């Protein structure tokens, strides 16, 4: 069977399809999309490991203090904020490391807390108590702050190796599991 000229597409149709579905253009588009994906992944890997530090400012009676100036100081940066009406403050997306927090409010002695550890992908929550007094007097707290992971419900406790030696000889460790 001979279909003649009807089976042959016209030059205009061939030109349209060649422009519209150019295989080199498809490869270029795929390479461009792949380059964007790689660039986005690379940008995320350069992001420093970050955490969150938040807290509550209280007076000596346990009442919250709103409007207190809170300054966060670390090796890389310094940030400031003001507590809300509930005495809460928060610093989000800060690089992990050791920080100090200074809290000031009129009619209270400033407080300076040092050695606060912020860990990657963790929320550290602190409570700071202000004492009524003059601004010239400073209350400095130099103690290890315990980081509380508010995103997990697990409870952990480290037990020293001397625990076995401290158990009375009449009762062994096995009796703790089975009873006297």
Query: Do residues 110 and 74 share a domain?
Result: yes
Q: Is residue 106 part of a domain?
A: yes
Q: Is residue 83 part of a domain?
A: yes
Query: Do residues 41 and 19 share a domain?
Result: yes
Q: Is residue 28 part of a domain?
A: yes
Per-residue three-class SS string for the chain: CCCHHHHCCCHHHHHHHHHHCCHHHHHHHHHHHHHHHHHHHHHHHCCCCEEEEEEEEEECCCCECCCCEEEEEECCCEEEEECCCCCEEEEEEEECEEEEEEEECCCECCEEEEEEEECCCCEEEEEEEECECCCCCCEEEECCCCCCCCCCCCCCCCCCCCHHHHCCCCCCHHHHHHCC
pLDDT digits (tens, 9 = 90+) for 41-95: 666 655 567 888 899 999 988 899 999 999 999 877 889 999 999 999 999 888 8
> Could you tell me the pLDDT band of residue 32, with boundaries at 50, 70 and 90?
confident
Q: Is residue 55 part of a domain?
A: yes
**Model pLDDT, residue 73:** 92
Query: Do residues 22 and 58 share a domain?
Result: no
């Amino acid at each position: 069977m001979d279909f003649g000229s009807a089976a042959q597409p016209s030059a205009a149709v061939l030109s349209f399809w060649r422009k519209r579905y150019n295989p080199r253009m498809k490869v270029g588009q795929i390479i461009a999309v792949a380059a964007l994906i790689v660039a986005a992944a690379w940008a995320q890997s350069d992001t420093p490991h970050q955490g969150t530090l938040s807290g509550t400012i209280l007076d000596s009676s346990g009442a919250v203090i709103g409007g207190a100036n809170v300054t966060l100081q670390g090796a890389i940066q310094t940030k400031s904020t003001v507590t809300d009406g509930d005495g809460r403050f928060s610093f989000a997306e800060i690089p992990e490391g050791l920080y100090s927090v200074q809290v000031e409010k009129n009619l209270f002695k400033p407080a300076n807390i040092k050695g606060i550890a912020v860990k990657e992908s963790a929320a550290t929550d602190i409570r700071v108590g202000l004492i009524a007094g003059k601004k010239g007097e400073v209350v400095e707290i130099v103690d290890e702050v315990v980081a509380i992971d508010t995103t997990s419900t697990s409870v952990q406790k480290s037990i020293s190796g001397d625990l076995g030696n401290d158990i009375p000889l009449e009762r062994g460790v096995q009796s703790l599991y089975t009873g006297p």
